[in-house]
Amino acid sequence: MPEVRSLSVGASFPQFNKKACVSIEPGKEFGFISSEDHKKSGKWMVMFWWPKDFTFICPTEIAAFNEKTEDFQSKNSILIGASTDTEYVHLAWRNQDPNLRNLQFPMVADTNKSLAEELGILSEDEKVAYRATYIVDPNGIIRWVNINDLDVGRNVDEVLRVLSGLLTGERVPCNWVPGQATLGR
């Protein structure tokens, strides 16, 4: 198996400007999402990737992130989904799957795979993105990354837990949950 080198904690998240499916409302379906939008927002960014639209595991994850959108927003963060499918495929999938119709976050289309490649998350066999999740601080620095194999879905509550821990600005122990004592600085 070839060695995969992905960007990790402490690295700058790559600059990007990508088309995205932002709505299913006619005439407002598409827009652009950029790293500059993230930096200008002054918020944390949680970007999660899935391998392919119209598959089995991916919609369960996307729907789970959508259910927690308000939780992410309450933690001064923006949520962005991404895959290497086109914005048109994202729109068709959202229109076809009732669990995806009312998404509250954009679905980025990394059609040329440049961002996934720069992040180092393309599978060698299928040339699709692994199930990667990044938490990026307001300055564009990766603070947490998790990459799952193609066949294993992620835990959205764990992403929220880690984001909460990072937001404390303190050390948090193993199995810490928001509301518990931290270890201070």
Q: What is the pLDDT of residues 107-116, one digit of tens each?
A: 999 999 999 9
| Catalytic residue set | 58
Task: Specify the pLDDT at position 4.
Answer: 54
Report d(CA 22, CA 12) in Å as an integer: 25
Global pTM reads 0.93
How many structural domains is the chain composed of?
A: 1
Structural domain includes residue 166: no
For residues 94, 95, 99 and 100, what is the CA-based torsion angle, rounded to 10 degrees? 20
Query: For position 131, which CATH number holds?
Result: 3.40.30.10
CA distances from 65 to 40, 113, 118, 163 (A): 23, 23, 24, 14
What is the chain's length?
185
Structural domain includes residue 161: no
Structural domain includes residue 164: no
Report d(CA 136, CA 30) in Å as an integer: 24
Structural domain includes residue 117: yes
Structural domain includes residue 127: yes
Task: Specify the pLDDT at position 2.
Answer: 46
For residues 66, 68, 73 and 75, what is the CA-based torsion angle, rounded to 10 degrees? -150
pLDDT averages per 10-residue partition of the chain, 185 residues: 70 97 95 95 97 91 96 97 97 94 96 95 88 97 94 93 94 90 80
Task: Specify the pLDDT at position 179.
Answer: 87
Instruction: Please give the full DSSP string across 72-99, using - where no structure is assigned.
Output: HHTTTEEEEEEESS-HHHHHHHHHH-TT
Structural domain includes residue 78: yes
Which domain range does residue 47 map to? 17-152
